[in-house]
Amino acid sequence: DAGVIQSPRHEVTEMGQEVTLRCKPISGHDYLFWYRQTMMRGLELLIYFNNNVPIDDSGMPEDRFSAKMPNASFSTLKIQPSEPRDSAVYFCASSFQGYGYTFGSGTRLTVV
Amino acid sequence: GENVEQHPSTLSVQEGDSAVIKCTYSDSASNYFPWYKQELGKRPQLIIDIRSNVGEKKDQRIAVTLNKTAKHFSLHITETQPEDSAVYFCAASSGSNYQLIWGAGTKLIIKP
């Protein structure tokens, strides 16, 4: 198994642009999580899905953030419009029944 | 809701000595307690986990202990090596929503 696959690994964009982060979870995992990590705020849960259905999006900072999971093997996190304070490392993680989260390599987002 | 506190925030030990990191949780319904290691610039990786029906679990130089009465759990690393230097996160979840609640992390420094 290739693990959780995220793309792109690095993204540099200008303020106001749309950013789309992608994630392919481990096959057979039924939970998918999107996290954001910064030095100041640590690991923050943004949203999670169970069997492709969003369960809790209370961590999404504002309406500029949206996430979808159209099928069991793909999820996106979109920021529109992006702002410098969105700069962070975004991790996707998947798990089976909530145990043993496996994280992707992350996307380092820089908004200038 | 659940709250997880982790101590210390930084721990410096001599190579070869033992390191202990402690976490407390608030929700008595929590029943799953994983530990993650995150090296600089890399993803968090699961190193060991324990479920509430077990008091202790070992994997080579790493062990985790759980005290359900006191609602705390600890990570023990023996014979520390330079490659143990990283940030370690504890987490807890209950069976109700499978969402992990994270500690703030401990930066472990192994001095040569």
Closest residue in B to A40 (Cα–Cα): B104
Quick: pLDDT tens for B50-85: 988 889 999 999 999 999 999 999 999 999 999 999
Task: Check residue A76 and give left, alpha or beta (phi > 0: left; psi -120 to 50: alpha).
Answer: beta
Strand A107-111 and strand A10-13: pairing? parallel
Report the pLDDT value the prediction gives residue B65, as an integer from 0 to 100: 97
A83-111 average pLDDT score: 95
Mutation target vs A (from B6, B99, B107; most A CBs, 10 A cutoff): B99
Size of interface A-B (CB pairs under 8 A): 45
- Residue of A56, A100, A106 with shortest CB distance to B99: A56
Closest partner residue to A101 among B95, B97, B100, by Cβ? Answer: B100
> B9: closest CA among B90, B71, B66?
B90
pLDDT of A54 > 70? The answer is: yes
Q: How far is A60 from chain B (nearest CA, A)?
A: 15
| Res B99: pLDDT | 81
Cβ atoms within 10 Å, residue B33: 28
CB-based contact B93 A98, cutoff 8 Å = yes
- Chain B residues whose CB is inside 8 A of the A48 CB are 99
Shortest alpha-carbon distance between residue A93 and chain B (Å): 10
Q: What is the pLDDT of residues B24-51, one digit of tens each?
A: 999 988 999 999 999 999 999 999 999 8
Please give the pLDDT value at position B78: 97
> Is it true that the peptide bond before B8 is cis, omega within 30 degrees of 0?
yes
Judging contacts by C-beta atoms under 8 Å, the chain A residues touching residue B99 are 45, 48, 56, 98
CA-nearest of B42, B33, B46, B30 to B6 is B33
